[in-house]
Amino acid sequence: MRATPTTHVEPARWSGITRPDALRCDVSAVRAACEATLRQNWREGVRHADGVAFAYTRPSPGHYPFQWYWDSCFTSIVWRRFEAVHARAELESLLAAQREDGFIGHTIFWDTPLNERQRFTYNVTTTDAPMTASIQPPMLAWAWRIAAGDPSSVPAIGRHYDWLAANRDLDGDGLIWIVQPDESGLDASPQFDAIWGARAHGLPGFVLLVHRNRHLTYDLRRILDHGGPVCCEVLTNVLQSLSLMALGRPSLTRAIVARMYDEQAGLFRPLTLPEDEQMPVLTWAALAPLALPDLPEAIGRRLVEEHLLDPKRFWLPIPPASVSATEPAFSVRDSTPGVRRYWRGPTWINAAWLMWLGLVRLGYLEQAELLRARIGAAVAEAGLREYYDPYTGRGMGASGFGWSALVLELLEPDPRACSSYLSS
């Protein structure tokens, strides 16, 4: 499918291209629902053990009580629209949990203790750990730039990226590596099936992986020395690059293209050690570099025209599907008895937002409008759900899901969106 792009859109012209009348939803009602969900999910207090204050948005009150790193980054971006104090406080709570060496974990427990099952399955090295020993996509500095100001003026943020460079960059090129599928935030995405096999997220063997990595203290190099596998994942490095640019540090885009771009296929692929020659399942992560403002235009156009806009793969009625619909692994079913496996087909709002940023930057305005209309209609009909059926828009997963409030970034665009919010 070939789309005819319109002229590249500069940020200054952004206010002239949105057409709220073209949306099939009541934007004011969706906005009210987003604010109500964020306020309902807000939690603040003081940790009893040491008196450290915290404030954050629970992803979903019933299912997700803790503070998750990238969830807080996403919800802080939306909080700036309603209450800037909350936006900053949410990100400051991540920094309040930071270790002296700069590390910030995937999940911070604050004053909600782990239950017996969680102590057995979570990525902790001790039963009384205040947070996991694993990471999530390191987008703190980018979220800070969007929601709170200049991250380079906050030394603790710089220390966080220094820790990542020292501990998760294997080759000195800036790209960071993960030791478990859930460190990508994409959990059971089928792109990891060939890498972790029977130990992939959501399978019985995953507990064995957790316990092996727990024994090795989630140390990347120790894990690699013990046979790995470890993965240099595309989306993780896209968000790392956006954060480095937000800090005024060098972009990783050149390295992402040099090492992960498959020129023949026009897609990005994860790297693994030990090397795995199996072709990974095609998921939306292969298109995630569209969010990079310095991605070479020719590559971006291939991602859009050859892949994203293909109605047989990603451009389903509620796009983008999280897995190409042509893949055998694609499924709109999200669970088997007792286990929910995420990111295997349904559409997520954060993925739609990142794809939309690329469409806008490259001037595919008609397609960007269609994407925002379809996503807006799904949220208006089903409410803020964790993810959505890509064919029907049916809400799936947790209800009252905080980061789905990112729909407002599409419905009420920020002029900075054309540059992935990195322009002044």
**DSSP assignment string, 206-253:** HHHHHHHHHHTTT-HHHHHHTT--EEE-HHHHHHHHHHHHHTTPPPSH
Give CA–CA dist 361/413, Å, rounded: 13
Mean pLDDT of 71-88: 98
Query: Is residue 51 within a helix (H) or strand (E), and if so which, with residue range?
Result: none
pLDDT of res. 9: 37
Residues 186-242 have pLDDT tens digits of 999 999 999 999 999 999 999 999 999 999 999 999 999 999 999 999 999 999 999
Provide the phi-psi class of 61: left if phi over 0, else alpha when psi is between -120 and 50, else beta: alpha
- Record the pTM: 0.94
**Among residues 396, 400, 327, 354, which one has the least CA distance to residue 137?**
354
Average of per-residue pLDDT values in the chain: 93
Mean pLDDT of 304-317: 98
- Tokens 């990142």 correspond to 354
**Among residues 211, 132, 224, which one has the least CA distance to residue 178?**
224
Is the pLDDT at 15 greater than 80? The verdict is no
DSSP string, 72-120: HHHHHHHHTTT-HHHHHHHHHHHHHT--TTS---SEE-TT----HHHHH
Mean pLDDT of 374-395: 97
Q: Choose the weakest-confidence range: 57-71, 133-147, 169-183.
A: 57-71
Residues 105-138 have pLDDT tens digits of 999 999 988 888 888 889 999 989 999 999 999 9
Q: Residue 55 in contact with residue 42, Cβ under 8 Å?
A: yes
Band the pLDDT of 23: cuts 50, 70, 90. low
Mean pLDDT of 320-334: 96
pLDDT of res. 127: 87
pLDDT of res. 335: 75
What are the boundaries of each domain within the chain?
11-419
- Tokens 């937002």 correspond to 353
Band the pLDDT of 10: cuts 50, 70, 90. very low
pLDDT of res. 1: 42
pLDDT of res. 4: 42
Mean pLDDT of 62-72: 93
Q: Residue 320 in contact with residue 351, Cβ under 8 Å?
A: yes
Share of the chain above pLDDT 90, in %: 87
- Which CATH number is associated with domain 11-419? 1.50.10.10
Give CA–CA dist 84/421, Å, rounded: 17
pLDDT of res. 16: 35
Residues 103-114 have pLDDT tens digits of 999 999 999 888
Is the pLDDT at 14 greater than 90? The verdict is no
Around Cβ 338, how many Cβ atoms within 10 Å?
A: 5
Residues 278-295 have pLDDT tens digits of 899 999 999 999 999 999
